[in-house]
Chains A and B, each alone.
Chain A
Amino acid sequence: GDKVKQSPSALSLQEGTNSALRCNFSIAATTVQWFLQNPRGSLINLFYLVPGTKENGRLKSAFDSKESYSTLHIRDAQLEDSGTYFCAAEARGSALGRLHFGAGTQLIVIP
């Protein structure tokens, strides 16, 4: 089965509203990264997390290694937040450099 499950798979948000994306892990995740792939195709790193939380502007992310999940909260969604969000985790016991990617959440922000 999937080692990293992202939910939801797709989401439409009204501009100015808030939402949360989630990744559940069936592996012993040690670090998590969140990426946004914009409509041009560029993958932008949003966060690199060890267990704990980080905040950057309207984005906030948390990683709980004991409960095996990570979340990405988007506050006051803007049109430029549209794209596909991926989480990726390193895991204890996995080969060096191996990141396990989720299938992505496709987000559309509508005016």
Chain B
Amino acid sequence: DAGVTQTPRHEVAEKGQTIILKCEPVSGHNDLFWYRQTKIQGLELLSYFRSKSLMEDGGAFKDRFKAEMLNSSFSTLKIQPTEPKDSAVYLCASSLSWGGAGTGQLYFGEGSKLTVL
């Protein structure tokens, strides 16, 4: 079975550009997460979908970050406009939730490394 697939693996953007990162979750998983990872802040949750419904929109990340899940097998994260402080690794993860309040075992993609000049 294919794991979580993320594209592109690397992206270089000029300040002010719009970038779109893509994620394909593990087939059959119903939870999808977008995280940002930096050395200073560690892993920060940007968005969380359950069965394609947006459950968590990332609070402080709302203004320039928008995640969408167009179908159960594809999600995008748009950053518009980009700023140098957005330079980080963006990770997508999916899991099969077992219903109720919990999520299941998380599987991460290999990440998209974004550099904003």
Contact = CB atoms under 8 A, between A and B. Distances in A.
Nearest to A92: B101
A96 B50 contact: yes
Among A96, A97, A103: residue with most chain B CB under 10 A: A97
A56 interface: no
Contacts of B102: 30-31, 90
A50 to B, nearest CB: 9
Interface string A17-53: 0000000000000110101000011111100100000
Nearest to A93: B101
Contact of B43 (A86, A90, A95, A96): A86
B104 A42 contact: no
A45 B50 contact: no
B111 interface: yes
Interface residues of B, number: 23
Given A41-B89, A103-B42, A104-B42, A97 B106 contact: no
Interface residues of A, number: 22
B19 interface: no
A99 B35 CA distance: 11
Nearest to A49: B105
Interface of B: 31, 33, 42-43, 45, 48, 50, 55-56, 89, 91, 93, 101-108, 110-111, 113
Given A41-B111, A97-B33, 17 more contacts: A30-B102, A31-B102, A35-B106, A35-B108, A41-B113, A42-B110, A43-B91, A45-B107, A86-B43, A90-B102, A95-B55, A96-B48, A96-B103, A97-B45, A98-B48, A99-B103, A104-B42
